[in-house]
Amino acid sequence: MSFMTRFTLAAWAASLPMIAAAQFSLAPLPYATDALEPHIDKTTMEIHHGRHHAAYVNNLNAQAANVPELGKLSLEAMQAQMSKFNTAVRNNGGGHYNHTLFWQLMAPAAQRGKPSAALEDAIRTAFGGMDDMKKRFDQAALSRFGSGWAWLIVTPDKKLAITSTANQDNPLMDLPGIERGTPVLALDVWEHAYYLKYQNKRAEYTTNWWQVVNWDEASKRYEAAMK
């Protein structure tokens, strides 16, 4: 190899963009894929986590390769500055945050706990009681047309509220049309979350989802948001 060829190759190599290391990663589910049976089936969990969530992470990493600022932000901070970023970041960054939260807000039977006294009090104050809160939340899940999420949030003035978002948007995002707050509960109402077991019966999925809620996690999130 001539000096010139070596020189040209080295210059070419130096001019290549750095291949960014994957900055966001898919954490394993915090329980087995069959841990939420019979309410949420194993196959749905495998596909939902292993393919859908994985795709959001991969697509977000592809964006981060071009937008270095993304890699410096926590996932939460990214949501709160989403108005700065493009639609691919909104969809995939939102998808990564929402699903990470969703897995944590469900648990196997032995680990579901119950709402803390503080959370229960706040639910009573805001909605009249647990059953009324669930009714309102289910309503938000059912009235979301197409794909999206239902949320129980702590608003900036420290009150509980129920809201819903389209696509992979969430209440942390600084975007028009979003009621902002800190999520306490999150329910994925995309068809990919329930179609294999429930087909078109979103109401049945929503009702059964209450059986797998991780109330210890929701209570922790509530108390952190109230600080």
Q: Helix crossing, 202-209 with 130-143: angle to 10°?
A: 150
C-beta atoms surrounding 82 within 10 Å: 20
CB 46, min distance to Mn ion, A: 13
Cα distance between residue 132 and residue 227, in whole Å: 25
Interacting span for Mn ion (CB under 5 A) from 20-28, 65-73, 173-181, 189-197: 189-197
In order, the DSSP letters of 135-172 are HHHHHHHHHS-SSEEEEEEE-TTS-EEEEEEETT--TT
CB 69, min distance to Mn ion, A: 26
Q: Does 138 bind Mn ion (CB under 5 A)?
A: no
Interacting span for Mn ion (CB under 5 A) from 15-23, 77-85, 193-201, 205-213: 193-201
Q: Which is nearer to Mn ion, 190 or 209 (CB)?
A: 190
CB 10, min distance to Mn ion, A: 46
CB 95, min distance to Mn ion, A: 7
Out of 190, 198, 215, 222, point to the residue binding Mn ion (CB under 5 A).
Answer: 190
Interacting span for Mn ion (CB under 5 A) from 4-12, 74-82, 190-198, 204-212: 190-198
Q: Does 56 bind Mn ion (CB under 5 A)?
A: no
Q: Which is nearer to Mn ion, 160 or 187 (CB)?
A: 187
Quote the tokens at residue 202: 């979103």
Interacting span for Mn ion (CB under 5 A) from 57-65, 85-93, 185-193, 199-207: 185-193
In order, the DSSP letters of 185-223 are EEEE-SGGGTHHHHTT-HHHHHHHHGGGB-HHHHHHHHH
Contact 113, 105 (CB under 8 A): no
Interacting span for Mn ion (CB under 5 A) from 77-85, 133-141, 157-165, 192-200: 192-200
Q: Which is nearer to Mn ion, 168 or 219 (CB)?
A: 168
198's CB contacts (< 8 A; 6+ apart) are: 204, 205
- At 90 the three-state DSSP class reads helix
**Distances 32 to 29, 66, 108, 163 between C-alpha atoms, Å:** 7, 35, 9, 30
Q: Which is nearer to Mn ion, 127 or 149 (CB)?
A: 149
Q: Does 188 bind Mn ion (CB under 5 A)?
A: yes
**Side-chain half-sphere CA neighbours of 173 within 13 A:** 26
- Spacing of C-alpha 64 from chain mean position: 18
Q: Does 217 bind Mn ion (CB under 5 A)?
A: no
Return the residue nearest Mn ion (CB atom): 188
Chain residues binding Mn ion by CB under 5 A are 188, 190, 193
